[in-house]
Amino acid sequence: MRGLLLVSTIIALVIELILPPGHRAVIDASSQHDGRYHATASPEVVNMMRSIRSMVLLIGLVCLGACHSPLGLQPAPVQEHFVTTHRSALTSHQLSDQTERTLITVGLPPRATFEAASALSDSIAEDPDAMTFLALAEVAFMIGRNQAVDTETRRAQLAVASLASWIVLFDPEFELSPYGSEWPIARGLHNASVASLIEILEHMPRHVGEKQTVYAMGQEMEVDVSWRASPWTAEAFSKFLPAMKYRVRGVRHRHWQHGIGAALLADRGDAHTVETTAEEHYLPPNHQAVAISAIVHDVTHESGTAWPPHRFSLTFYDPVQTPFVSVAGRCIPLEADFTAPLVHTLARDRTLQQAGRGGLIDTERWEDISGLYMLEPFDPDRVPVVFIHGLRSSPMIWREMVNDLMGDPEIRAQYQFWFYLYPTGTPFAYTAKNLRQALRQLRAMYDPDHTVSTLDEMVLVGHSMGGLVARLLVTESDDALWNAISDVCFEEAVMKDEDRSLIRNIFFFDPVPEVRRVVFIATPHRGSVVADRAPGRLVARFVQLPSSIVGAAKAVIEANPGRIRPFVDPRRPVATSIDSLSPRSSFLSALAELPISDRVTVHSIIGCRSHDGRPGGTDGVVPYDSAHLPGADSELLIPRCGHSVPLHSAAAMELLRILHEHR
C-alpha cells in the first residue's frame, strides 16, 4: 500500500510539470467528488486527465498484487505441525487429509456421508487398497458417532469402522506402515469404534458368550462374543462404558496403557443383586468400576473376497491379568485405562466419603462395615499390599499412591492392593486386634493349607495412626503393654472369661507371620501433642466407643480397684484413639520400646513443612522426632510436605521403589 501511495504522488507531480501553466489553475482539486474531476479546462485536457487516472489505478493494482503474494512461510509453533498431521475424525469434526484426498480421487466431496461410505465400500469390493479401507473406517466412524442417527444405523457404521480399520492394522496384504502418519489414526479409529460399538450392542454385558448379529453393508454379520476376563464374571457387571468418553479429575496422572482394543469401564453398580463368588467376597459392596479390555479378531470373509467380512470375534479380557494378547499371529498390548475405574469407584462410594468423620464419632455403627476390601478378586499369584489409613480418614487417602502404583506394569503384575477400613475413634490397639483377626480369616478362606507363598510376603503400609496399627502387627508384645496400664499380673486380674478373651487379644500377641515388610508414613511412634491440645480433647469427648469395649473396660476396672491405670485421663478410663495418640500415653510409650520383628524390613516416609527438609521439623501434626524410627532400613524425608503425605508424589515414588525392591 505504501508503494501505491508513492507511485500516485510521483505521477501527480509529473502532471503538474507537464501541463501548460495556463491549464494548471483550472483544475480545482477541492472540487473532486466521488472520484471525478470537475474542471473548466478544455476537453482535450479533461480526456488526458482521465487517461492518466486510469494509468495510476492500473499501476496501483499491479503494485498491490506484487506486495501480497499467495505464497510464503510464516513462523508457527511446533505443536501446530503435529495437530495438523494427526488431524482426523478422532480429534475434530474434520476428516484427515488422507481421507479427503481419497474421497476426491473417487469423485466425491470430502465429507462423511452415507453416499461416501457406500461408494468407498464399492470401491474396495472392486479394487481394495489400504488407503480406501482407512477412508471408509474414518467416514463410517464419523457417521456412527453421530447421536442423531438411529441406534441400528450407528451400530452398523461402527461395525464397518471397526473392521475396515482392523484390516489396515492386521491384514498382511493391506496393513499400513507403523512409521506413517496414517497408522496411529487407524489404531485410534479402531479402538474408538470397537469401544463405541460395545456400548450400543444389544444384550451387553449380561449375555456375553452368545452370538450376536449386526446388519451392515447389505448383509448380516455374525459376532462371536466371548469372555476371558477371569477371575471376573460377566454377570457381575451392569454396563460397559468407553473410558475415552470420560475426563478424569482429582488425581495427578491418568495411567493409560496404549495398545489395541477397547478400553472399558465395567460397572458393578448393580453388583449387590448378583451372587458373588468366594474370590469376590472382599470387593466393595456398593459400587465398583473395573478396567476391562475388548479386542476384535478372527475377521473372516467369503472365499476369494476382501470385503465385506461376514463374521468376526469380540473377546473381553482383564488387562491386569492379561496385558498382552495374540492377534493375527502377533503379540500386542491391550488398550486399557487403569485410572478411570479407580476414580469412578471412589467418587461414587458415599460410604468412603463419610468414613472419616463418621468413623471417628459413631464407632459402633461403623464397625459393621469395617474390614478388608480389595480392588480385584483375590489372586494367589500376587503379593498383598495392605493399606491402613489414619485418624479421621479412610481408604480415600491412598488414591494418588494406588493410582501411581497401578500405572507401573511390573507392580500391577506382582501385587494386589487391599485396604483396611475401620472406625478411627476406637483405640488403635483394638483396631490392630481386629485386623489380625481379619487376616487370619482371609487366609483360612483362600489358603487353609498355607500353600500360597505370596501370602507369606505381605507388605503393610500405614499412614499416621494406621502406622501404629501396622506396628502392632510386626511386634511381639510379651506382657509389656499390659504392664503399662496395670499393676496386677494378667492371669491374676479379676475378670469374666469373655472379657479376658477380648483383653488378651488386645494386649498379648505375636507378629503376624505373613508380614515381611512395613512402610510407616508420618507415623507418631512417640505420639503427637495435637492430641493434647484443646481441639483434640474436645473431639475426644464426642467419640462414642463400642459398647463391647466400654463394658469390658469398666468391668475390669471395677473388679480390680486401684490396680488398672488409665491410658492418659483418669476421668476417662476407656481411652479413645485420640487419647492413645498422646505423648503422655503409657501404652504408646511402652509400644515405642518394643522391637520390631527381625523378619520384617522397615521403611519410613516422613513429611516436613520446612523447605530444607532437614530432620527436626514437623509435618504440622507429627514431629520428626516422633516419626523417626532408629534402625529403619530406609527413611525418606519430604520437604514442603504436610501431614497428608500419601498424597505427595514423592511418597508414591518411594513406595514404588520399595515394592520393586521387595520382589
> In this structure, what C-alpha cell is assigned to residue 433?
486386634
* pLDDT for 229: 94
DSSP label of 88: S
- Determine phi and psi for 96, rounding to 5 degrees: -70, 160
Coil, helix or strand for 296? strand
* Grid cell of 197 as nine digits: 460399538
Displacement of CA 597 from its chain's centroid (Å): 36
Average pLDDT over residues 477-504: 96
Q: What is the pLDDT of residues 537-593, one digit of tens each?
A: 889 888 999 999 999 999 999 999 989 987 666 666 688 999 999 999 999 999 999
- Residues 6 or more apart whose CB falls under 8 angstroms from that of 128 comprise 174, 306, 307
User: Rounded CA gap, 246 and 200, in Å?
Assistant: 17
CA Rg value for the chain: 38
> What confidence tier does 130 reach under pLDDT thresholds 50, 70, 90?
very high
Per residue in 327-364, pLDDT (tens digit) is 999 999 999 999 999 999 999 888 888 888 889 999 99
3-state secondary structure 154-209: HHHHHHHHHHHHHHHHHCCCCCCCCCCCHHHHHHHHHHHHHHHHHHHCCCCCCCCC
pLDDT of 211 reads 82
Average pLDDT over residues 403-414: 98
Closest CA relative to residue 267, chosen from 204, 192, 203:
204
**pLDDT value of residue 318:** 98
Cα separation values, 298 from 8, 314, 327, 388, Å? 76, 9, 8, 46
pLDDT at 414 over 90: yes
218-250 confidence digits (pLDDT tens)? 888 999 999 999 999 888 898 999 999 999 999
Q: Yes or no: say if 222 and 301 are a contact pair by the CB < 8 Å rule.
A: no
Sign of CA dihedral 333, 339, 340, 344: positive
Give yes or no for residue 27 having a pLDDT over 60.
Answer: no
pLDDT for the residue 94: 93
Residue 529 grid coordinates = 501433642
Would you place residue 48 in the very low, low, confident or very high pLDDT band (cuts 50, 70, 90)? low
Strand partners, 326: 331
Task: Give dist(CA 270, CA 329) in Å, integer.
Answer: 38
Assess if CATH 2.60.120 describes domain 349-601+619-634.
no
Percent of the chain with pLDDT over 90: 70
Euclidean distance between CA atoms 352 and 396, whole angstroms:
7
Residue 187 burial class via C-beta count within 10 angstroms: exposed 0-12, middle 13-18, buried 19 and up:
buried
Model pLDDT, residue 28: 44
Closest-CA residue to 412 (of 601, 661, 653, 659): 659
For residue 46, the model assigns a pLDDT of 55
Digit-coded pLDDT (tens) for 86-120: 899 999 999 999 999 999 998 999 999 999 999 99
Most confidently modeled range among 39-43, 487-491, 531-535? 487-491
Partners of 226 in the β-ladder = 315
Query: What does the alpha-carbon distance between residue 497 and residue 501 come to, in Å, rounded to a whole number?
Result: 6
With a cut of 70, say whether residue 4 has pLDDT above it: no
Q: Which helix (H) or strand (E) holds 445?
A: helix 428-446
Alpha carbon 160 to chain centroid, angstroms: 30
Model confidence band, residue 137 (pLDDT cutoffs 50, 70, 90): very high
pLDDT at 58 (0 to 100): 56
Other C-beta atoms lying within 10 Å of the C-beta of residue 558: 12
Q: Residue 331 in 3-state DSSP? A: strand
Lowest mean pLDDT segment, chosen from 15-24, 243-252, 284-293, 539-548: 15-24
Q: How confident is the model at residue 320 (pLDDT cuts 50, 70, 90)?
A: very high
Quick: pLDDT tens for 583-608. 999 999 999 999 999 999 999 999 99
